[in-house]
Amino acid sequence: MALGLAAHSPRRRRRVFKNIPLEFNKIDRRVLQRIIREFHRDRLVDFKEDGDNGVRIILTEQGVKKALRYNIDAIFIEEPKKWDGKWRIVVFDIPEKMKKAREALRDKLRKLGFYQLQKSVFVFPFACHDEINFIVEFFELRSNVRIMTVLDITNEAELKLHFGLS
């Protein structure tokens, strides 16, 4: 799949896409190619020649680590050695008809260590944009959730104390 974009020859590209299962036909090929190209550029996937004129896309060691990191049940946020002084705020307005997804998001934010400022406002001191985007996509809440990074917040002393920051 990914090789189609990463491959330099049109013949090799055709071999990659020829072997794609039917379910993938519903996916916009340009989007798929772009994603595969990005994964290959980031060294998350590699391509292997298959014996029957095909090409396989495989996860690299780095790709496996990233895939495991973004397992919804095992997701975590790495804490840097030094805090950058910025606060990450997750704000959401999720309708009642999506109550289960809303509760799942709240629960996941709490488990990740976010501080709940209000019912739908959570704060965290470390970079977490990718992880939150993954969670938001997983629960299909893209249009209902906003992520902000701020330098100043009124209850900063309380937050610093909560997170053990100086």
Q: What is the pLDDT of residues 125-136, one digit of tens each?
A: 999 998 999 899
Q: Residue 130 CB: number of other CB atoms within 10 A?
A: 12
pLDDT band at 6, cuts 50/70/90? very low
Burial of 79 (0-12, 13-18, 19+ CB in 10 A): middle
Which residues partner with 130 through β-bridges?
Answer: none
Q: Residue 32 CB: number of other CB atoms within 10 A?
A: 17
Evaluate if residue 144 carries a pLDDT over 60: yes
pLDDT band at 1, cuts 50/70/90? very low
46 is in an annotated binding site: no
Cα separation of the two ends of the chain: 48
Evaluate if residue 12 carries a pLDDT over 60: no
Evaluate if residue 40 carries a pLDDT over 60: yes
What residue ranges do the domains of the chain occupy? Answer: 3-68, 87-163
> CB of 123 within 8 A of CB of 159?
yes
Mean pLDDT over 37-62 rounds to: 84
Is residue 29 within a helix (H) or strand (E), and if so which, with residue range? Answer: helix 29-41
Note the pLDDT of residue 21.
63
pTM of the predicted protein model: 0.64
Mean pLDDT over 78-106 rounds to: 97
> CB of 141 within 8 A of CB of 99?
no
Instruction: Return d(Cα 64, Cα 76) in angstroms, integer.
Output: 15
**Architecture in CATH of 87-163:** 2-Layer Sandwich (3.30)
Report the alpha-carbon angle 14-16-21, nearest 5: 110
Note the pLDDT of residue 84.
97
Percent of the chain whose predicted confidence (pLDDT) is above 90: 50
Is residue 13 within a helix (H) or strand (E), and if so which, with residue range? Answer: helix 10-18
pLDDT band at 83, cuts 50/70/90? very high
Percent of the chain whose predicted confidence (pLDDT) is above 70: 83
